[in-house]
Amino acid sequence: MNGILKTTALPYCKGCGHDLIAKKSAAALEKLQFTPLDVVVVTDIGCHGIIDKCLNTHTVHGLHGRSVALGAGITFGLDNPEKKVLVFIGDGGSTIGLQHIMEAARLNLNMTVVVHNNMLYGMTGGQTSGLTPQGFCTTTSADGNPFSGYDICELTSTAGASYSARIMGVGDITPSLAEAFAVKGFSLVEIMEICPSYGVKLNPRRKLSEIVESSGRKIGVWRNEKKSFIMQQGKKKNDLLASVEEVKNDFPATLEKDISLVISGSAGEGVQSAATLLARAAMRSGCHVTQKGSYPVTVGVGFSTAEVNLSPAPINFHGIDVPDVAVVTSGDGLTHSKKRIEGMKKGVLFIDESLDTPETGAEVVRHDFRSVGARSASLYALLFFANHTGLIDYEAIFRTIQESGLKEKVPVEKLREKLLQ
Ligand SMILES: Cc1ncc(C[n+]2csc(CCOP(=O)(O)OP(=O)(O)O)c2C)c(N)n1
Ligand code: SF4
């Protein structure tokens, strides 16, 4: 499917209101003619958040209650009213991150927050949240919630949101969602629903409409005539990309298909910079490239792993689960990447000959990468990979070293000699 949703088989319990919200949100976005890549959906922890893998849009999954803070950051960074930042959050997350919601409403940021208010914490077994109505039974308020919940629509409207609405999560809610999504400024839709797995069981014979009505919460829309923050006060920042030097495409294209590569070694041994040199060399050979680094917070010890995707076409997803190529230059690196290497059913593993070869379905190439010195082992291993596979011209890596100011730090002649032995 090329629409907003990848599938209509969503991962919720039967009858969960989240299913309706996801499907109708997709329909509302499509009605407003947003394409998947125009949309950033930010979710957080909770049942509502497991939607990410079903979406063709950009997705960001944050800590519980933090999706609005993340959405706010994305809104500031994007500064583009043609794109849609859509935040999904539960009533639990809204409680935990209430201040984030209030700030985004106060600044009237150009984004929409969809509050999935099933009146309890669904994913953890049905506990009371700050939005649970008085009298509603949950696993932590067996006799009914003794407190009245926050009225999130009143709160956000008072804070300054352009638009707040409370709707019932039944029937075709597409028009209500589209109305909220079309707002320029902050909009919030609180959708009242009931969780079949906990809410229905703990509140037998109670109907959703009666629960909402008796809670004193109004179904309706709250509006403020106000411009969004971006349009009113946002100052055009210098484009961060303006100072980024463009990589020239001065080597012939050699790569015909996508390659995912993981290189693992030890902190302080130049793993990340070797991966960057490979990435830049690939770019000058016409490739699209992503690079991601992982290392412990104590950056000077332990493993250092870089993930590099190389492709002749634009790359929309930079994650790597099982790589096509693994390169391991030290024991730390092997410990960190062992599971992934064991999961390789094909591809190639380049591993330093001082290390034990793990069980793997990949072709194994053992070589003495560390013979050039620990600090150059990763770079040598990537040059070796380029030479061995022919996927990237190793001369592009040497040229990149030469032009990167690393010439003094890298034993270029020694590397070339070893490579051509
Ligand atoms: C800061 C924090 N507190 C608590 C948790 C544990 N936790 C995980 S899911 C969840 C419940 C989520 O409820 P809600 O946000 O209402 O979403 P729902 O599951 O109902 O869609 C909780 C409390 C957590 N992950 N992070
Ligand atoms: S536990 Fe409740 S909120 Fe979570 S998916 Fe099931 S019905 Fe929905």
Cα-atom radius of gyration of the chain, to the nearest Å? Answer: 26
Q: For the segment 383-399, what is each residue's pLDDT rounded down to a tens digit?
A: 999 999 999 999 999 99
Least reliable range by pLDDT among 238-242, 350-354, 417-421: 238-242
pLDDT of 230 higher than 70: no
CA dihedral 315, 319, 322, 324 (to 10 degrees): 30
Domain residue spans of the chain: 17-232, 259-419
Confidence of residue 227 (pLDDT cuts 50, 70, 90): confident
For residue 7, count CB atoms less than 10 angstroms from its CB and return exposed for 0-12, middle for 13-18, buried for 19 or more. Answer: exposed
Q: Which protein residue has the closest C-alpha to ligand 1 atom 24?
A: 64
**Beta bridge mates, 187:** 112, 163
% of the chain with per-residue pLDDT over 70: 97
Dihedral (CA of 88, 93, 98, 99) sign: negative
What is the CA(34)–ligand 2 centre distance, in A? 28
Confidence of residue 229 (pLDDT cuts 50, 70, 90): confident
pLDDT of 351 higher than 90: yes
pLDDT of residue 174: 98
Give the number of whichever ligand sits closest to the CA of residue 48: 1
% of the chain with per-residue pLDDT over 90: 88
Asked if 263 and 273 touch (Cβ cutoff 8 Å), the reply is no
pLDDT of 238 higher than 90: no
CATH homologous superfamily for 17-232? Answer: Thiamin diphosphate (ThDP)-binding fold, Pyr/PP domains (3.40.50.970)
Chain CA centroid to CA 16, Å: 24
Sheet holding 259-266, edge to edge: 288-294, 303-311, 259-266, 325-328, 348-352, 363-367
pLDDT of 370 higher than 90: yes
pLDDT of residue 310: 97
Confidence of residue 241 (pLDDT cuts 50, 70, 90): confident
pLDDT of residue 231: 53
Q: What's the rounded mean pLDDT across residues 52-72? A: 97
pLDDT of 295 higher than 60: yes
Element (H, E) at 39: strand 39-43
259-419 folds as Pyruvate-ferredoxin Oxidoreductase; domain 3 (3.40.920)
pLDDT of 78 higher than 90: no
92 lines ligand 1 (CB under 6 A): yes
pLDDT of residue 133: 97
HEC assignment per residue over 12-24? CCCCCHHHHHHHH
As a whole number of angstroms, the distance between CA 23 and CA 172 comes to 10
pLDDT of residue 297: 81
Q: What's the rounded mean pLDDT across residues 190-199? A: 97
Mean pLDDT of the chain: 94
Q: Give every CB contact of residue 253 below 8 A, 6+ residues apart in sequence.
A: 285, 286, 287, 312
Asked if 365 and 349 touch (Cβ cutoff 8 Å), the reply is yes
Confidence of residue 25 (pLDDT cuts 50, 70, 90): very high
Residue 46 CA: which ligand 2 atom is closest?
A: 4
Residue 50 CA: which ligand 2 atom is closest?
A: 5
**Beta bridge mates, 191:** 116, 167
What is the CA(96)–ligand 1 centre distance, in A? 9
Angle at 329 between CA 327 and CA 330, to 5 degrees: 130
Residue 17 CA: which ligand 2 atom is closest?
A: 8
pLDDT of 368 higher than 70: yes
pLDDT of 233 higher than 90: no
What is the CA(61)–ligand 1 centre distance, in A? 13
Length of the chain counted residue by residue: 421
What is the CA(120)–ligand 2 centre distance, in A? 10
CA distances from 89 to 67, 196, 287, 354 (A): 7, 18, 38, 50
- Nearest CA-CA partner of 419 in 190, 406, 393: 393
- Mark out the alpha helices in 42-137 (DSSP H runs): 67-78, 91-96, 98-107
Confidence of residue 1 (pLDDT cuts 50, 70, 90): low
